[in-house]
Chain A
Amino acid sequence: MSKHEVKSPIPGTFYRKPAPDQAAYREVGDTVTKGETIGLVEVMKTFHEVKADADGTIADFPVSDGEPVMAGQVIAELN
């Protein structure tokens, strides 16, 4: 099965958790359905949810929590 890439629509800082003291939205190996929030991108002090745009199992988060991302950069890979 080919991999599906979830990309950040905007540049900014990628977060895997809704808040620093909370658990990550999803971990590698978790299944997700289309429309589920899997991360946040902070752009200019506002937060935008990044949602899975397909169903699948998370194979990898190529970007670590709190790292900068460019628009179009892959933030999660789904199997």
Chain B
Amino acid sequence: MKKTGIQKLLIANRGEIAVRIIRAARDLGIATVVVHSDADTESRAVQMADETVNIGPPMAAKSYLSIDAILTAAKETGADAIHPGYGFLAENAGFADAVAAAGLVFVGPDGNTIRLMGDKAAARAEAEKANVPTVPGSDGVIKDMDAAAEIAEEIGFPVMIKAAAGGGGRGIRVAHDAAEFRELAPQASSEAAATFGDGGIYIEKVIERARHIEVQILGDGENVVHFFERECSLQRRRQKVWEEAPSVALNDRVRDELYRSAVALAKAVHYKGAGTIEYLYDDETESFYFIEMNTRIQVEHPVTEMICGFDLVAEMILIAGGTKMGVTQQTIRRTGHSIEVRLNAEDPANNFMPFPGIVGNLLTPDGPGVRFDHMLYPGYAVPPFYDSLLGKLIVWAEDRDRALLRLKRALDELQIEGLPTTAPLFQALLESEELQQSAVHTRWLEPWLENNLDLIKQKGAQTHE
């Protein structure tokens, strides 16, 4: 059995990822503490954890984002490590610093690495240093609008204007010509200043019809290994809705270069923990470009676990506890194909209107090759204060065609009564020939949704019969 220095792990998160982390900790023989808000007293994670601490009111700013409340809870319960999950404080360098300053283990990279990769312009510069290709764009942050307009002209329109301090697709604008750029760039800068406290912007060329490809890596501060790629091209409002591994768009030469670049970048920053290097991939030129690095476990990590037979969350806990990475690149193999779909409490037939309802009868899919990471139980009242992700349905099969069939089977088995979910969207998507052939890109889904609203409605009506 692997030994780790961690005895009691505090989980500073909620929802399905809190459940997921409790399971990984328990598999390692580690006790768990879950912190929660007033709105989450009945959550599945709270029911499962060994200990729980109420850290404040529903509003995340006063509970899940309160560094003081979380550190106090860790002290009171004698936890020696904190796992931030994703979202909330997961990529907050100040939090990682504060955890370390309190003498506790932060499950993730140190504050300086988070800070470096969280500044998109600095991350881009770091990537260039490691010879990782980046999207043509400005060298670093721009503050002078005239200089910015000149750079945009040189790169060629359309260009993306991004907030240097932003994340998760927020604060992004697309300018199609110089006039639009002159109008949008100052807006982006002042919005970035208001939202992130930093008005710095940078510019990137828009790659039409790009795929979103990302490489999962794991490092122990010295060695870095990769766990192949995921494709997450199906996005709505820049939020991923469907992820798979591997990507059928890549050939072996591209794969090799992609993995090598991801490992090189992670090694250059002495990366410790689980991380993801995100790229845009252009089918036509077979070129990939670094966009950003996520210094945390991601929502879509299970598709990698399914093709590699590996528990990434357990591994990141072990590494944080001081265990040298036991796995070498040669021992990491992939087999088959995995697909994950995100089930949100939203009505896809009604402009994805969020619906915090009460879960009625619940039938969850299982059987060969099916995994359902979720936080549901009959009678659970979904709180309105947080994001709408209820869970993730993940399937594995020998190849992509059979994974698609298995996803259909699993979705047919799934019944969540009491509230609309995005399940009908995926049932409708499975009928798309383009999706069946993976002829997709990051801007494929939104127009498809507009053209297939009736099909989604029909799928929704069938599940409610």
A: residues with CB less than 8 A from B are 10-13, 19, 21, 43-46, 66, 68
Contacts and interface: CB of A to CB of B under 8 A. Distances in A.
Contacts of A46: 354
B194 A21 contact: yes
Contact of B59 (A10, A13, A43, A45): A13
A11 B356 CA distance: 8
B354 A43 contact: yes
A45 B386 CA distance: 6
A44 B194 contact: no
Interface string B186-227: 000000001000000000000000000000000000000000
A10 B194 contact: no
A11 B39 CA distance: 12
Contacts of B384: 10-13, 43-44, 68
A45 B331 CA distance: 41
A43 B356 contact: yes
Contacts of A11: 356, 384
Given A21-B194, A43-B384, A46-B354, 16 more contacts: A10-B384, A11-B356, A11-B384, A12-B384, A13-B58, A13-B59, A13-B384, A13-B385, A19-B194, A44-B356, A44-B384, A44-B386, A45-B387, A66-B59, A68-B57, A68-B58
Given A11-B356, A13-B385, A68-B385, A44 B345 contact: yes
Contacts of B386: 44-45
B388 interface: yes
A10 B387 CA distance: 15
A46 B59 CA distance: 14
Classify the interface of chain A: helix, strand, loop or mixed: loop
A49 to B, nearest CB: 14
Contacts of B59: 13, 66, 68
Nearest to A12: B384
A44 B58 contact: no
The 8 closest A-B CB pairs, nearest first, are: A44-B354, A44-B388, A11-B384, A12-B384, A43-B384, A43-B354, A68-B58, A45-B387
B388 A45 contact: yes
Interface in B347-395: 354, 356, 384-388
Contacts of A10: 384
B385 A12 contact: yes
Interface string B2-40: 000000000000000000000000000000000000010
Q: Which of B346, B354, B388 gathers the greatest number of chain A CB atoms within 10 Å?
A: B354
A44 B390 CA distance: 11
Contacts of A12: 356, 384-385
Nearest to A19: B194
Contacts of B345: 44
Q: Which of B57, B58, B385, B388 gathers the greatest number of chain A CB atoms within 10 Å?
A: B385
Nearest to A68: B58
B63 to A, nearest CB: 12
Interface string B48-86: 000000000111000000000000000000000000000
26 contacts: A11-B356, A11-B384, A12-B384, A12-B385, A13-B58, A13-B384, A13-B385, A21-B194, A43-B354, A43-B384, A44-B345, A44-B346, A44-B354, A44-B356, A44-B384, A44-B385, A44-B387, A44-B388, A45-B354, A45-B388, A46-B354, A66-B59, A68-B39, A68-B57, A68-B58, A68-B385
A19 B190 CA distance: 13
A66 B59 CA distance: 8
A33 to B, nearest CB: 26
Q: Which of A12, A13, A43 gathers the greatest number of chain B CB atoms within 10 Å?
A: A43
Contacts of B388: 44-45
Contacts of B58: 13, 68
Nearest to A41: B384
A73 B194 CA distance: 31
B357 to A, nearest CB: 10
A44 B148 CA distance: 35
Contacts of A19: 194
Interface in B384-425: 384-388
Contacts of B346: 44
A22 to B, nearest CB: 10
A66 B300 CA distance: 32
A46 B352 CA distance: 10
A5 to B, nearest CB: 20
Nearest to B62: A66
Contacts of A66: 59
A41 to B, nearest CB: 9
A25 B356 CA distance: 26
B177 to A, nearest CB: 28
